[in-house]
Structure 1
Amino acid sequence: MSLLQLQGMVKRYGGLVATNDLSLDIWPNEIHAIIGPNGAGKTTLIHQISGTIAPNQGKIIFDGVDITSVSMHGRVAMGLARSYQITNIFQSLSVVDNLSLAIQARTGSSMRFWRKAIDEHALYVEAQTYAAQIGLADKAQTQASALAHGEQRQLELGLTLATQPKLLLLDEPMAGTGHEESGKMLELIQTLRGKAAVILIEHDMDAVFKLADRISVLVAGRIIATGDADYIRQHPEVKKAYLGDEVSVSDSSTINAQDAA
């Protein structure tokens, strides 16, 4: 059974159709990448799945429940979380205190009675566990504002993981990171395999082909192909959409990163 079903999704902005009768199934615990040219509708699709905007037509079924009209916060409570564009880091707090707030939000603890995680042993232990999972154990007491850009990205992902999602939406998690930082993020996303489903939008095609169990290609608001990396590399419509009829997609590096953004 699919964890997420998108059924006939349509989103219009005046005369522009951003998603056009789009249907897609996401399986439990898979890493599913969505790629496509600029203007293909990728961000609009993520907005609709997360609840930031509502579709004009279609249904969103999550874990067997129709969530088309459910608020973004309601979707988070059900186990559908989005990282980066929605999550906010508290710059003045330490890594472990940021994580403790995310844990408290999940458990329903009142923020009025929040104290530093180090003052609450069980909370501190759980927050430290997430810090270790995202590779920031040695920075647990570091103020978030003092973290490097890539480390802040890791913390943002940690805040989302602390909500214990069934489905995690990642919108260009490696954007703005250097080679070493993007390598760490790739390894971190790999650790999520089998723990939660992931929908990944990413312009780094090398990372996409390394990470994704399945890839869907979005062009002009429609899914034109879904399959594993080898299938996508050889699909004639995908070749045409990215590179023209005469250019063969022999490996992931041949796809221009700008086209995939």
Structure 2
Amino acid sequence: MPTTDTAGTRADIAVLNGVPFLDRNFSVPQLLGGVVAVRQMHARNLEVQDVPAADDITGWLSPDTAVKTRPNATLVPVRTMPVARLRRTQHAARGLGELLPHWRQLMALPMAYHLLESDDTSLSASTYLWPQQILLSDAAFDNRQALDELLLHEWCHQWLYLTEELWPFDVPGARQVTLPSGTSDRAPREVIGAAHVAATTLRMYQALGVHSGERIEMFTEYGRGCLALLDELDEDLTPAGRTIAGQLKEAI
């Protein structure tokens, strides 16, 4: 459910002041405050046991509580990440948090990491129905560039999932489309997520001093392709989805 202002009316997504990772003034406390309130509501409705105390904000933002309070939560088969790889992942996440000052708060969100099953062909994965859980493939550890890109990719999804706890991005029964990558059967909310990943990855490379080359061209083309799809899907987006799509157009 959307957050409310002091008068008790529905707050527009504009209250967040932009998009996570892309806007310096993005209001992390505003979003997380709303997320905690929604999780507490779901905990009551679902009669969840062993929840944190009402004022334990850190507890309500933990991966465990995120899953317990997500309606229709769906666990994904995974492998446990070995300690050495977990340390590499955590080190890479800290490094991403140091790239830009406004990324530090974002990368401080508690996150659980797992390995994808060995027969899964994905490079990385996450899902709205298993929040604050990031799955990485063995190939993600081939080199630092791969790990940084894939890790940032999934962190982008996680922050949009948080936003969607308050504001859905597409309407019920929304059309599904094929992403520019060729991935089919994707809802408008997932197209928004793909465009957000492209824009944020470009921002990462800019922060690293890389302004041209194959990766820059690829993510720019991919992001613009996603935005073109969102133009076609305008009627399938909620007002919040249209707002996010418009903000992404300014970033790519």
Which has a greater percent of helix?
A: 2
Considering only CA atoms, is the larger Rg found in Structure 1 or Structure 2? 1
* Shared fold, TM over 0.5: no
Higher RCO (C-alpha 8 Å, min separation 6):
1
